[in-house]
Structure 1
Amino acid sequence: MNPKPDCILIRVFHLHLKFAYPNGFWKGLCETCLDSAQKIYLEVNKNKPSCRKGKCALCESKTGVFPAELEFPDFSKGIVKKDVNLCYRCLKGVDEAYIRHKKEMIEQEHAHH
């Protein structure tokens, strides 16, 4: 039996760590947050909503960001939903991780049948 991971890994490019990690590094989002961020990515690509200046919650870059709602674990409250900002580059990483995750899920389903 294969244990299901808690987080789906997303490649993030941090401006201040670009020399230490030129290919980016990995941050994890739960499946619910990945789905939520994926919807933002699709909306951004379809409607091209205007972004505002802010700090990205994943890579911490101060750039154009889009609002998203993500869930964070809180030991006293369980799960807390927070409004965060995500930059386009991280949203693109979310899209890649989303596609990879869905493909892995389909492959696992076929392997069990």
Structure 2
Amino acid sequence: MNGVIQTLSALAEPNRLAIVELLRDGPRSVGDIVDRLGLSQPLVSKHLKVLSDVAIVDRRVDGKRRIYGLEQSRFAELDRWLDTFASLWDDRLDRLQAHLDRTEATS
């Protein structure tokens, strides 16, 4: 649970969320992230450090470049946590469907 809280807290910051959304398409260098998001390099590096510290992204070195990608295990953990709410949504959607069926039958 602690990892989920850390993940959600980190993603609550808009620039970090934008970085994660960009990395969803695949690993990118810091320079590419800077160019695509129009943020300064020091700001991107600061956000990548936060994301790395909570294991949302991982980093590999390619010569002088640092390549960042998403850490799949962190998102799997988040997915498992979200699944615990599935029955809540299923129940609500079932009640909505029943209401719509009743409304259609009376029309």
Query: Do these two structures clear the TM 0.5 threshold for a shared fold by scoring above it?
Result: no
Q: Name the TM-score, length of structure 1 as normaliser.
A: 0.33
Between structure 1 and structure 2, the one with the greater Rg is: 2
TM-score (norm 2): 0.34
